[in-house]
Structure 1
Amino acid sequence: MTQDPFESAGGGNPFGGGGFDLNALMEQAQQMQTQLQDAQEKLADARVEGTVAGGAVTVVVNGVGELVAVEIKAGGFDGSDPDDLSDLGDMIVAAYRDAKAQADTMASEALGPLAGGGGIPGLG
């Protein structure tokens, strides 16, 4: 009996050509995982502002889109008027959407090369 079970089947390396290095592939995958975790941590710490109505309402989200803060300019809204309160709610939503779109773009730029799967050469 031989040590290599593929030799007895008349083969040698089943992946052909001897160019497959599993250790190098695993090391590269580990590096990519570390880079992905670092990018995710940076995004969680990043802050993006969305604003509407000339700064009447500003929201802050982190790089993953979580709402962090809402700022409303003093004197812009009368809390006793239902229409003002409705408008305020709409502005908060619009400011959040603005900030979230920016955060999504930031995340796409930061994670795109890592999450796209194109970083491991030799794998189709």
Structure 2
Amino acid sequence: MSQNPFDALGGGGLDLNALMEQAQRMQEQLAAAQQQLADATVEGSVAGGAVTVTVNGTGELTGVTIKPEAVDTDALDDTLADLGDLVVAAYRDARAKADQMAGDALGPLAGGIPGLPGAGPGADPGSAPGKLGF
């Protein structure tokens, strides 16, 4: 048995320069995807569009639009309570869309570095092959 723990990787060892270059590219791709998400917006609405909220791709609330027909001036106290619930529901709708957009944009970058043991979608870092036991 060899004394070099990298022999198990095949090819005579691990090319650290190539690994560092790939990590740098992934970091640049991640930064670009994060910027795209920060610049993107999605809308969520409820009650037939009576309340619409806008969030950016990172889920930050950037706007709220309430149509006049959403406010019943005859029962203002009840309407304001209902309006608060509608804003929360519209935000949840928009946030779900933003989360989906983020997952689509960042998903390919979450796969890890190809060829590295234990890296990849769904990989458990605690169960990576060759993990040192100390």
Bin of the TM-score, shorter chain as denominator length: 0.7 to 0.9
Say which of 109, 118, 121 aligns to 2:114.
121
What is the TM-score when the length of structure 2 is the normalising length?
Answer: 0.76
| Superposition map of 1:69-80 within 5 A | 69-78=63-72
| Superposition map of 1:63-74 within 5 A | 63-74=57-68
Aligned partner of 1:89 in structure 2 is 84
Say which of 26, 29, 32 aligns to 1:32.
26
Say which of 55, 62, 76 aligns to 2:49.
55
Separation (CA, whole Å) in 2 of partners of 1:57 and 1:15: 58
The reply on whether 1:106 has 2:101 as its aligned counterpart is yes
Q: Which runs of 5+ in 1 are unaligned?
A: 1-9
Question: 3-state DSSP class of the match of 1:15?
Answer: helix
What is the TM-score when the length of structure 1 is the normalising length?
Answer: 0.82
- Displacement of 1:14: 5.6
Per the alignment, do residues 122 and 76 of structure 1 end up closer, same or farther by CA in structure 2, a change over 3 Å counting?
closer
Q: Flag the structure with higher helix content.
A: 2
Separation (CA, whole Å) in 1 of partners of 2:76 and 2:5: 76
Q: Which runs of 5+ in 2 are unaligned?
A: 118-134
Separation (CA, whole Å) in 2 of partners of 1:121 and 1:91: 45
Separation (CA, whole Å) in 2 of partners of 1:90 and 1:27: 49
- Displacement of 1:18: 2.2
- For 2:34, the aligned partner's letter is Q
The alignment covers a number of residue pairs equal to 112
- For 1:23, the aligned partner's letter is N
Given that 2:70 and 2:83 are in contact with CA atoms closer than 8 Å, whether structure 1 keeps it comes out as no
Structure showing greater Rg: 1
